[in-house]
Amino acid sequence: MPVTTNDVRPDTVQLDDIDKKLLRMLGENARRTNNSMATELGIAPSTCLARVNSLRESGVIRRFTLDVDPERIGRSLQALIFVRIRPGARHTMSTFSEEIRVQQGVTQLFFLGGTDDFVLHLAVRDSNDVRQFVLDHLSANPAVASTQTSLVFDHLPGGPWV
Amino acid sequence: MPVTTNDVRPDTVQLDDIDKKLLRMLGENARRTNNSMATELGIAPSTCLARVNSLRESGVIRRFTLDVDPERIGRSLQALIFVRIRPGARHTMSTFSEEIRVQQGVTQLFFLGGTDDFVLHLAVRDSNDVRQFVLDHLSANPAVASTQTSLVFDHLPGGPWV
DNA sequence: AGTGAAACTGTGAGGCT
DNA sequence: AGCCTCACAGTTTCACT
């Protein structure tokens, strides 16, 4: 009898209670010192360090990054832009989206199933910037069938991952 | 003649070239050492530290946080859920959304202008979890007029902020 | 605002249980 | 897997410019 594929994906990491607490602590403050976390968890600093390194190496932690307030840097306007690609141009999507992704003001990109092909989260100065962005990077591209822009009044992070 | 409101919002911080480079460096790796950044920028470590502290105090940097790979912790399925609130229940939106925001699997929440009132980004294990989430937290709530779920095939970060 | 020096704190490797 | 020790690296304060 052949070995069957397991229920759990092979690259899924099992997290114990300590791992989860570490992820929560570092999610709140990625610069928390190893010592303070070890103390709070009641484990040795070296153990704590090994845990964090292991979370990095296993790819659970992709990177340590920043949460920047767009308003404070003059990007007071956020928008979600829903984009449909022409059916005949689907094969260009990954090239196209990569160009879009790195444009000034693009904070994230979702590839979607359903009627829209992707959603773009934009943080810019004002509505002129949105218009300009759509004109320059979307409408101008023959692969784009249509776009629909919704203003974002507020953008909040979710709860902890674990 | 009365002083008129300035073009630039009062809480907007002007960033010089050093600040922008720091934001880019820390965005890539929020744990970069102060020393290495100072060296790369050609400034003294103490100066560098003062800059980063000032970016924190001014609110440009909200927090140092983590980029967690949802797949590695068994959340292989992502979805965007578009929610409409009944016109008569708009006043309950902020209470309601705060309850939603902290639920397991909710990674972010957008408040929207236009036909949909908000969008929820969910990272869960499978489609059952999505169905359960919608049932438990959305459909069950009388304030919700309708929901529409789109699967997310891929989710990519944008380019640097500055 | 930026600097240099010095005191302090935290990190991470090695060997051990 | 977890823990202890310790040399080293990094941080942070402060007086000065």
Within its chain, how far is the Cα of B85 from the centroid? 22
Amino acid A3: pLDDT: 45
Tell me if B102 and A60 make a contact (CB, 8 A cut-off).
Answer: no
**A161 shares contact with chain B (CB less than 8 Å):** yes
Amino acid B10: pLDDT: 60
Amino acid B1: pLDDT: 47
For residue B2, pLDDT over 90 is answered with no
Residue whose CA is minimally distant from C3 C1': B44
Residue owning tokens 């790796």: B29
For residue B3, pLDDT over 60 is answered with no
Protein-covered nucleotides on strand D (Cβ within 7 A): 1-5, 9-14
Which one of B11, B59, B113 has the shortest CB-CB distance to A153? B113
CA distances from B94 to A85, A154, A156, B85 (A): 34, 11, 12, 11
For residue B13, pLDDT over 50 is answered with yes
List pLDDT tens digits, range B90-143.
999 999 999 999 999 999 999 999 888 999 999 999 999 999 999 999 999 999
**B44 shares contact with chain A (CB less than 8 Å):** no
CA distances from A54 to A13, A37, A44, A57 (A): 10, 15, 15, 5
List pLDDT tens digits, range B52-84.
999 999 999 999 999 999 999 999 999 999 999
Tell me if A110 and B154 make a contact (CB, 8 A cut-off).
Answer: yes
Per-residue pLDDT of chain A (162 residues; tens, 9 = 90+): 444 444 445 589 999 999 999 999 999 999 999 999 999 999 999 999 999 999 999 999 999 999 999 999 999 999 999 999 999 999 999 999 999 999 999 999 999 998 889 999 999 999 999 999 999 999 999 999 999 999 999 999 999 999
Residues from chain B contacting residue A76 (CB–CB below 8 Å)? 9
pTM: 0.93
Query: Nearest-CA distance from A99 to chain B in Å?
Result: 10
Tell me if B101 and A158 make a contact (CB, 8 A cut-off).
Answer: yes
For residue B8, pLDDT over 80 is answered with no
Amino acid B9: pLDDT: 56
For chain A, the straight-line distance linking the first and the last C-alpha, in angstroms and rounded, comes to 37
Query: Nearest-CA distance from B56 to chain A in Å?
Result: 9
Residue whose CA is minimally distant from D11 C1': B34
Amino acid A4: pLDDT: 46
The pair of structure tokens assigned to A139 is 């409408």
pLDDT band at B161, cuts 50/70/90?
very high
DSSP result, B88-132: GGGGGHHHHHHHHHTSTTEEEEEEESSS--EEEEEEESSHHHHHH
